[in-house]
């Protein structure tokens, strides 16, 4: 059975002090929640203190990016070895902002996926179409390309260890949200693509999150859909009570 995972992505927000304060509040709110995976993606600068802040709790920490080499002359980059050593358990990869602003290709993202898996951490692989793609009827085509690229060269056993986050780019930070029916239709198509690649048994074990402006007021409807297994939450993950409200919607 695949697990429902609610993950927060803070992006370029929160100092160390702010991160610790929020996580200290959150871990108290979610005590005893064991049917839903809880993950917070924090900036590199806050990761060490974030891991310490949630030690012994049911909250896991994600990095928001990684460079796919263990070490070397890559000034300013952070390796999977460094993340693993800190106690990071998840890594967010292929986010639309990384693809758009930093021109990350599917091939480069695939390198990162393999590096994260090789070090025993869980990739959260983001995929999703832009508004012009949806309006042109290319949603499934774009997602298929990004799935095929991100999962390239992986075995079924490796594929099962990946969390997919479907993020329609037109619904990130815009206040627009795909209706539960539209989101479900796209999630179903994503699972079908994974079925074609790895077989039904593997595809049915892969958690597919929705990541397009999920908030406390729409989370329950979205999470009720058959193929939506959680959320990758942006703005609503910055405040412990808002994030907890989404987690409650998944219970």
Residues annotated as catalytic are 95, 167
Q: Is 230 in contact with 211 (CB distance < 8 Å)?
A: no
Number of Cβ within a 10 Å radius of residue 173: 12
Query: What is the residue whose two structure tokens read 């059975």?
Result: 1
Q: Is 218 in contact with 176 (CB distance < 8 Å)?
A: no
Helix (H) or strand (E) holding 161: none
Per DSSP, the three-state class of 219 is: helix
Q: For residues 190 and 172, give the distance between their C-alpha atoms in angstroms, rounded to a whole number.
A: 19
């Amino acid at each position: 059975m695949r697990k429902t995972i609610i993950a927060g992505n803070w992006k370029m927000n929160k100092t160390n002090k702010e991160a610790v304060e929020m996580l200290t509040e959150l871990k108290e709110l979610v005590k005893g929640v064991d049917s839903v995976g809880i993950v917070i993606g924090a900036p590199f600068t806050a990761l060490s203190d974030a891991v310490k802040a949630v030690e012994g709790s049911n909250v896991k920490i994600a990095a928001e990016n990684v460079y796919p080499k263990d070490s070397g002359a890559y000034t300013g980059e952070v390796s999977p070895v460094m993340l693993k050593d800190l106690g990071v358990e998840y890594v967010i990869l292929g986010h639309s902002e990384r693809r758009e602003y930093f021109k990350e290709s599917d091939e480069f993202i695939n390198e990162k996926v393999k590096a994260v898996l090789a070090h025993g951490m869980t990739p959260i692989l983001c995929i999703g179409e832009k508004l012009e793609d949806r309006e042109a009827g290319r949603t499934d085509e774009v997602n298929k390309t990004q799935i095929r690229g991100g999962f390239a060269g992986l075995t079924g056993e490796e594929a099962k260890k990946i969390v997919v986050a479907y993020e329609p780019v037109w619904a990130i930070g815009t206040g627009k949200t795909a209706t539960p029916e539209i989101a479900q239709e796209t999630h179903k198509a994503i699972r079908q693509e994974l079925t074609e690649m790895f077989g039904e048994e593997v595809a049915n074990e892969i958690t597919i999150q929705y990541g397009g402006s999920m908030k406390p007021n729409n989370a329950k409807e979205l999470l009720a859909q058959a193929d939506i297994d959680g959320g990758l939450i942006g703005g609503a993950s910055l405040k412990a009570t808002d994030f907890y409200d989404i987690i409650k919607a998944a219970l």
